[in-house]
C-alpha cells in the first residue's frame, strides 16, 4: 500500500530533470518544486523550507543563506558531477550528505576528453572540411598532425574523471603526470605546481572542479609555460581557464591549439575562439550520451531513496551505495 503523502519524506526539486525522473520522485517522496523566479523562490522557502529533508539539485545556486532556509535538510543529491553551484563547505559544516554523479559520467567524459585530444592534435575538424570542400584533389596530402602516443600529457585533477582519462592515455602510450591539491597513491609523477607541470608537458587536460582555488588556474603564466607546441584540453569548467589569456596566447602563437568543451561565459563563446582553426569547440557535451544522462537522473532518485531507507522505483533496482562527498 502506498504511503500517504504526509508520511513521505519531503524533497525539494531544485533541478530540471526528465519527466520520468520527476514521476519516480513523486512516487517516493512528497515533492515541492522550487520556483524559478528568485523572489518567488525566496518566498516559497520562507513558507515551506522547514519541511524539506532532501534536495534534488542541478544548476540552482545553494549558498549558506539558502541552507539556512532549509534547516531540516539531510541530503543534497546533484545531477551533475561539478558542485560549483553549491557551497560545499557550508553544506558539510551542517552535516548534510552530498551526492553527485562523477562516478557515473566519468567514462563518457573521459572518452570525450580523449576524442578532443585526438581532434586537436590530428586536426580532424579541418581535415574533414578539406575532404568535404573538394580541396583534397587539388592540394594533395594534408598537413601532418602530432601523436599523443609520443606526448607527455599533464592531467590537472586526478579524481574519478582524471583517473579514467589516465587509463585511456596509458593505453595510447602517452607519458603521464598530474597536478592536484595532494599526492595520490598512483604510479604517475606528481607536480604540486601547475605551471611546472605545463612546462614539462606537451598537453594539459583539465578535469579539476571549479572552486575559488581553481578559478583561472590556467592563466597567462601557465599557458606561457605550456609553450608554442603545447595543447590545452578543457572538459572541467570554463572559468578554470582565463579565457582572455588563452585568446592572447593563441593570437601570439604561444600555444599550438586548444580543445574546449566548456567556456568561461557559456553558452557565449568569444568570436576569437570561433574563428581560430587551431581550436576545437564542443557545446559542453562531455557526459551527453543517452546512457549516461539516464544513469545520472536515476542516481538522483536512488541516492535520495537509499538515504531515507526507501525501496527503489518500481521495476528498477537501486545500485550499490557509493561513497558520498560529505
d(CA 158, CA 206): 9
CB atoms within 10 A of CB 277: 10
Catalytic residue among 53, 237, 306, 307, which? 237
Q: Quick check: is 284 catalytic?
A: yes
Catalytic residue among 168, 199, 284, 293, which? 284
List, as one string, the DSSP characters of 32-89.
EEPPSSHHHHHHHHHHHGGG--EEEESS--B-HHHHHT-TT--EEEESSS--TTB-HH
d(CA 303, CA 99): 7
d(CA 113, CA 164): 10
Q: Which residue has the cell 581535415?
A: 127
d(CA 75, CA 122): 45
- Return the C-alpha cell found at 25: 520522485
Helix (H) and strand (E) counts for the chain? 13, 12
Catalytic residue among 266, 278, 293, 294, which? 266
Q: Quick check: is 237 catalytic?
A: yes
Active site residues: 237, 266, 284
Amino acid at each position: 500500500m502506498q504511503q500517504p503523502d504526509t508520511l513521505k519524506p519531503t524533497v525539494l526539486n531544485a533541478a530540471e530533470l526528465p519527466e520520468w525522473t520527476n514521476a519516480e520522485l513523486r512516487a517516493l517522496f512528497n515533492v515541492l518544486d522550487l520556483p524559478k523566479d528568485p523572489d518567488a523562490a525566496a518566498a516559497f522557502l520562507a513558507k515551506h523550507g522547514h519541511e524539506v529533508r532532501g534536495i534534488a539539485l542541478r544548476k540552482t545556486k545553494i549558498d549558506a543563506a539558502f541552507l539556512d532556509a532549509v534547516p531540516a535538510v539531510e541530503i543534497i543529491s546533484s545531477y551533475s558531477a561539478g558542485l560549483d553551484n553549491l557551497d560545499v563547505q557550508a553544506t558539510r559544516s551542517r552535516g548534510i550528505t552530498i551526492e553527485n554523479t562523477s562516478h557515473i559520467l566519468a567514462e563518457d567524459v573521459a572518452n570525450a576528453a580523449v576524442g578532443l585530444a585526438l581532434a586537436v592534435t590530428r586536426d580532424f575538424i579541418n581535415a574533414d572540411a578539406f575532404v568535404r570542400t573538394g580541396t583534397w584533389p587539388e592540394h594533395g596530402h594534408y598537413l601532418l598532425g602530432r601523436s599523443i602516443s609520443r606526448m607527455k600529457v599533464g592531467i590537472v585533477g586526478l579524481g574519478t574523471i582524471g583517473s579514467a582519462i589516465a587509463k585511456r592515455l596509458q593505453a595510447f602510450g602517452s607519458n603521464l603526470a598530474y597536478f592536484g591539491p595532494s599526492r595520490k597513491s598512483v604510479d604517475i609523477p606528481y607536480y604540486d605546481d601547475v605551471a611546472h607541470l605545463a612546462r614539462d608537458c606537451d598537453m594539459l587536460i583539465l578535469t579539476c572542479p571549479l572552486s575559488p582555488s581553481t578559478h583561472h588556474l590556467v592563466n597567462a603564466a601557465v599557458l606561457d609555460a605550456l609553450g608554442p607546441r603545447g595543447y590545452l584540453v578543457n572538459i572541467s569548467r570554463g572559468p578554470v581557464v582565463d579565457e582572455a589569456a588563452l585568446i592572447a596566447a593563441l593570437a601570439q602563437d604561444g600555444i599550438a591549439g586548444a580543445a574546449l568543451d566548456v567556456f568561461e561565459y557559456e553558452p557565449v563563446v568569444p568570436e576569437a575562439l570561433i574563428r581560430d582553426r587551431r581550436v576545437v569547440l564542443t557545446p559542453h557535451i562531455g557526459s551527453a550520451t543517452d546512457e549516461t544522462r539516464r544513469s545520472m537522473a536515476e542516481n538522483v532518485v536512488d541516492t535520495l531513496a537509499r538515504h531515507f531507507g526507501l525501496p527503489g522505483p518500481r521495476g528498477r533496482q537501486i545500485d550499490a551505495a557509493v561513497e558520498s562527498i560529505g
